[in-house]
Structure 1
Amino acid sequence: KVLKLCPARGEQTWALNIKRGILSVLQTAQASTARAVVEEVDVLGICPTRYQQKGPVLVKTRDLNLCSHHYSGFPSVQSVVLP
């Protein structure tokens, strides 16, 4: 779990936001079952996140409309799984 970012002095806000978005996508909670819904805290706020084990693949799904405590300054950070 990433608790803090340490940006370089003078780092552009957009670059820091991209790093936060990447870390948000890569963050996973350890699920004790094959299917679990947990609350994750990241740059998008506090979000219910569903994990499903499909063979060797762990699928992470999040409805961004259900996130609370949205952190301002990152409205364009969203992720989409590509085929």
Structure 2
Amino acid sequence: MEGDNQLKLYAQVADQLKEAHIRVRELQVPEGVRMALSRKLLVVTAAAKHDLTDAATRLDRLMKDLDEGRFPDGNSLDGTP
């Protein structure tokens, strides 16, 4: 049963990552902001390989920031969501 829950979470994170990539690509923001958001997505993707629950939490936070119009300044090298 644990494996089924894990597979569902993988599918959920994969679907959300796909949606997040589309949303970031379609944003009308300066290129630096888009790059910062892309780095955040890469961090989430890498986290999913090691800690799926943490990745899901990070992705939820990133999606909420996108929903609320909170974007990084584009000057930061830190890709942590």
Taking structure 1 as the reference length, the TM-score comes to 0.30
Higher helix share: 2
Higher strand share: 1
Taking structure 2 as the reference length, the TM-score comes to 0.30
Q: Which has the larger radius of gyration?
A: 1
